[in-house]
Structure 1
Amino acid sequence: MNVNIALLSISLIAIFGFLSEILFRRTNIPDVIFLIIIGFLIGPNGYGFTSPEDLSSIAPVVTTFTLLILIFDGAFNINLSSLIREFSSSLVLTIYNFVLSTLVVGGIFYYIQEFHLGGTSMMAALVIGFSLAGVSSSFVIPILNQIRVGGKLFSRLALESALTDVFCIVATLSVIEVYTTGIFGIQKTLSYLIELFAIAGFIGVLGGIVWIVIRVFEEQNYIITIAYLILLYLATESFGGNGPIAALFFGLILNNSKQLSSIKEGILSRSVEEKKKAVRGDLGIEVTSASEEKFYHLISFFLKSFFFIYVGILLDITDQTALVVGGILSVLIMVVRMASMPLTKGMAGAQRKLVNAVFARGLAAAVLIQAVIQAGMPGADYLARVVYVVIIGTIMLSSLRVFILRLSLAKKDK
């Protein structure tokens, strides 16, 4: 790729990302839709300014880095005190929706492919089920901010989106690991995954503790933290663990450093009053500042912009089968979301409707399906086309339901 074209591309990605966010604020249409449309228009199915082949050399690096930053940045949305406080409601809702969505979406995909479209593998069905089981945090958080949702409902939905992103990544990467290593059988697979997670968890937690202790790079710690994160990823992979999972644990330690360090001080203290302060988190030290977290969000924002433009370039509307299957799965995801109604009985009517209206899939699914392609799984290109259709379909359906809900609430206010 020509240097000038590469620099122009970086500039345009940032500009398009910024403009799409402005359009989202003005029109309530998610920025992801605009980014995918831009990618489609400049891609081979549009005006042909670029093609997937032009980006093939950098795609694996960008995919890995995006996945790393996505899960690291996502960890900053998981606050241990909020998790404990909302444990009985948020976590139950999250696990219920994740498991139900995985089973239904993966099961229906397997049924359609196996009995109507010439067959598929259980591995492919698991990939579809797991990668599409999570509500997109890149969709949920902006939507909630846009309609000014606060309090417990915001915490529940934000926590659900953060956790399901993590669940999707962990589950899909586990399927990829099983495929690439060729380890099959329940006992062998479980043993391997436990080892994988143990290594990743140990290195991630240890890396986080070490980073809290040293904290010597006060001036340039933003970039140094990213460099340190990459080293943790490489170390974990070299020891046979899973790099992104280590990034998750590292992010959790940094985000909850004040609470964790306060608990440590409380354990060491003999004073009852000090122990009470420790429980409240008053004795701890915050390792990351608000500006530092914003910096990580900005990196995630740029990578999101690039990735959805890339998805638009890859989008192939000539594959009618993928369009139909993706459309069916999109509607199915919307219907499955309604099955969470029994778990929201304690909420007000409008809140229950909002919970059911927010179900779009997004960045995690797009990044994960690229990881599946890089792993060389059979039929991965077709799976990717289905996933892209589902991402667009669920975003459109979810946006429509939120829009209708807002209109109905506005009429009631009048």
Structure 2
Amino acid sequence: MIDMIIIFYTIAVIMLLSFIGEALSRRILLPSMILLIILGIICGPVLRFFDYEALKEMVSVVAPLTIAFIGFESGLKMDFYEVVEQSRRAVLLSVIGYTMSIIAIGLFLRYVFNLEWVYALLLASAWGGVNTATVEAVCNYLRFKEKTRVTLIISSLVDDAIVLVVTLTVLNYILLGGIGARESAIALSSNFCVSIFVGVILGFAWMNLLYFSRRAEYTYTFTLAALLLVYSLTETFGGTGGIAAFLFGVILGNSDSLATALKLKLKQAELTKLSDLIEHFHSELTFIIRSFFFTFIGLIYVFTGINELLLGLSVSLLLHFSRFLAVNLGTIKSSLREDFPAIGVIVGKGVTAAAMSTLPLAYGLPNAAFYTSIALNVILFTNVLSILLPILLRKISRF
């Protein structure tokens, strides 16, 4: 059993390191996640300030909590009207990019690294998306057109949703323990139904409750309690809490448009104000959790040799190549073509990929520590390359 004083000490130091990393990131181009991970690695595996086994026991709590929060945040930011009506190109880029990435990485891990198919797909699905923070950093630095910037950001938000759903589905299949195809299909269908039912039903219920109690104080605190309840209930009844949290966020984030579409007797302006308030407070809390999580996974990094660095670099280069091909296809007959090839090499991974990559460790799967370490290498390499390559390609294109 871990001493509570050690837990408090660990949390305090991790939060302090998170603050230092965020402060340093404002002075340089590198996203804060890279600095946070590096600080974690220095204080963990390098200087050994923390006991690895004690940190490992915390993963089973830290990973699900992070997934619940990022799932909810992804849902809140998912504007249905903007995605479906105005940004079909962004969805196209996301679907093509994710599909090509998961195929390329899945085949590479299976036939080159000799991983079992299920584990190859688990990692490939976790690494298939693009991080919004990296996209924003590169777009601001290279001053892409506003349409390009908005399209890439929306595409990255769609990526988060796809990564969340696909990775958790593959994990559920692994946890079923190799039962038959028919039984697996039934179990996964049941899992989806529970997740959708709890997330959507409680989302609509909470939307109405928030509206009628909109003048009460501590609205976000009640919503936070509801989020944890949604996650817990879904897991209790055999669903996936992360998917339910995402759908719960989608309902609350689109409450104004949903109320209008369903002709509910709720004032659209009041619902918009409520959803904006919740998104503001939740983004503040998610910022703390995200910073904490990146530092934490740096602390649990396990370096076993140069081979895992080479593997991480190989996966990163393959991700860049598949993304380049996907963007090349997805920007045909589009004004985005003007910013190609620079936008074709932005594939930095973020908190969604990191959280999904810690799931093997949280569920005690074989070689889990190794998978997490490879994921950190992929996150570091893809973010560094996603900053350097667009700048290099932009300079080359000007000659």
Which residue of structure 2 lines up, in the alignment, with residue 379 of structure 1?
367
- Residue from 314, 320, 324 that aligns with 2:306: 320
Which residue of structure 1 lines up, in the alignment, with residue 55 of structure 2?
55
Which residue of structure 1 lines up, in the alignment, with residue 320 of structure 2?
334
For residues 175-215 of structure 1, give each alpha carbon's deviation from its aligned partner in whole angstroms, at most 9, with x where no partner exists: 22112122544443333222211111111111111111112
* Offset at residue 75 of structure 1 (A): 1.3
For residues 336-392 of structure 1, give each alpha carbon's deviation from its aligned partner in whole angstroms, at most 9, with x where no partner exists: 111021221312555223421311112122211221222232222222222111111
- Residue from 155, 161, 166 that aligns with 1:160: 155
Residues 264 and 7 of structure 1, relative CA distance in 2, 3 Å threshold: same
Which residue of structure 1 lines up, in the alignment, with residue 386 of structure 2?
398
Residues 184 and 347 of structure 1, relative CA distance in 2, 3 Å threshold: farther
Q: TM-score, normalised by structure 1?
A: 0.86
Distance in 2, matches of 1:207 and 1:156, equals 31
* Offset at residue 149 of structure 1 (A): 5.1
CA RMSD of aligned residues (A): 2.6
Which residue of structure 2 lines up, in the alignment, with residue 123 of structure 1?
118
Distance in 2, matches of 1:222 and 1:104, equals 41
Which residue of structure 2 lines up, in the alignment, with residue 358 of structure 1?
346
Aligned residue identity for 1:383: Y
Aligned residue identity for 2:153: A
Q: TM-score, normalised by structure 2?
A: 0.89
The question of 1:104 aligning with 2:92 is answered: no
* Offset at residue 38 of structure 1 (A): 0.6
* Offset at residue 285 of structure 1 (A): 2.7
Which residue of structure 2 lines up, in the alignment, with residue 36 of structure 1?
37
Distance in 1, matches of 2:235 and 2:5, equals 35
Which residue of structure 1 lines up, in the alignment, with residue 26 of structure 2?
25
For residues 107-143 of structure 1, give each alpha carbon's deviation from its aligned partner in whole angstroms, at most 9, with x where no partner exists: 01111122xxxxx311111112111111123433454
* Conservation of the 8 A alpha-carbon contact between 2:130 and 2:348: yes
Distance in 2, matches of 1:375 and 1:194, equals 21
Distance in 2, matches of 1:221 and 1:147, equals 39
Residues 311 and 403 of structure 1, relative CA distance in 2, 3 Å threshold: farther
Residues 191 and 4 of structure 1, relative CA distance in 2, 3 Å threshold: closer
Residues 7 and 374 of structure 1, relative CA distance in 2, 3 Å threshold: closer
The question of 1:84 aligning with 2:81 is answered: no
* Offset at residue 99 of structure 1 (A): 0.8
* Conservation of the 8 A alpha-carbon contact between 1:98 and 1:133: yes
Which residue of structure 1 lines up, in the alignment, with residue 242 of structure 2?
244
Which residue of structure 1 lines up, in the alignment, with residue 198 of structure 2?
203
* Offset at residue 227 of structure 1 (A): 0.8
SS of structure 2 residue aligned to 1:113: coil
Aligned residue identity for 2:321: V
Distance in 2, matches of 1:385 and 1:69, equals 23
* Conservation of the 8 A alpha-carbon contact between 2:76 and 2:249: yes
For residues 5-39 of structure 1, give each alpha carbon's deviation from its aligned partner in whole angstroms, at most 9, with x where no partner exists: 65554444444334433433321111111111110
* Offset at residue 152 of structure 1 (A): 2.9
Which residue of structure 2 lines up, in the alignment, with residue 95 of structure 1?
95
* Conservation of the 8 A alpha-carbon contact between 1:327 and 1:393: yes
SS of structure 2 residue aligned to 1:90: helix
Aligned residue identity for 2:17: F
Aligned residue identity for 2:37: I
Which residue of structure 2 lines up, in the alignment, with residue 16 of structure 1?
17
Which residue of structure 2 lines up, in the alignment, with residue 113 of structure 1?
113
> Which of structures 1 and 2 has the larger relative contact order (alpha carbons within 8 angstroms, sep 6+)?
2
Distance in 1, matches of 2:268 and 2:67, equals 34
Aligned residue identity for 1:17: S
Aligned residue identity for 1:101: S
SS of structure 2 residue aligned to 1:336: helix
* Conservation of the 8 A alpha-carbon contact between 2:73 and 2:282: yes
SS of structure 2 residue aligned to 1:232: helix
Which residue of structure 2 lines up, in the alignment, with residue 70 of structure 1?
70
SS of structure 2 residue aligned to 1:265: coil
For residues 203-247 of structure 1, give each alpha carbon's deviation from its aligned partner in whole angstroms, at most 9, with x where no partner exists: 111111111111226311111111111111111122221111111
* Conservation of the 8 A alpha-carbon contact between 2:75 and 2:253: yes
Distance in 1, matches of 2:151 and 2:84, equals 12
Distance in 1, matches of 2:238 and 2:273, equals 29
- Residue from 260, 283, 290 that aligns with 2:276: 290
Deviates more, 1:90-99 or 1:398-407: 398-407
- Residue from 367, 370, 373 that aligns with 2:358: 370
Distance in 1, matches of 2:187 and 2:273, equals 34
* Conservation of the 8 A alpha-carbon contact between 1:258 and 1:287: no
* Offset at residue 251 of structure 1 (A): 0.1
Distance in 2, matches of 1:386 and 1:300, equals 25
Distance in 1, matches of 2:169 and 2:291, equals 27
* Conservation of the 8 A alpha-carbon contact between 1:265 and 1:284: no
Residues 71 and 356 of structure 1, relative CA distance in 2, 3 Å threshold: same
* Conservation of the 8 A alpha-carbon contact between 1:20 and 1:34: yes
Residues 195 and 142 of structure 1, relative CA distance in 2, 3 Å threshold: farther
Residues 86 and 111 of structure 1, relative CA distance in 2, 3 Å threshold: farther
* Conservation of the 8 A alpha-carbon contact between 1:30 and 1:399: no
Unpaired runs of 5+ residues, structure 1, are 115-119, 269-277
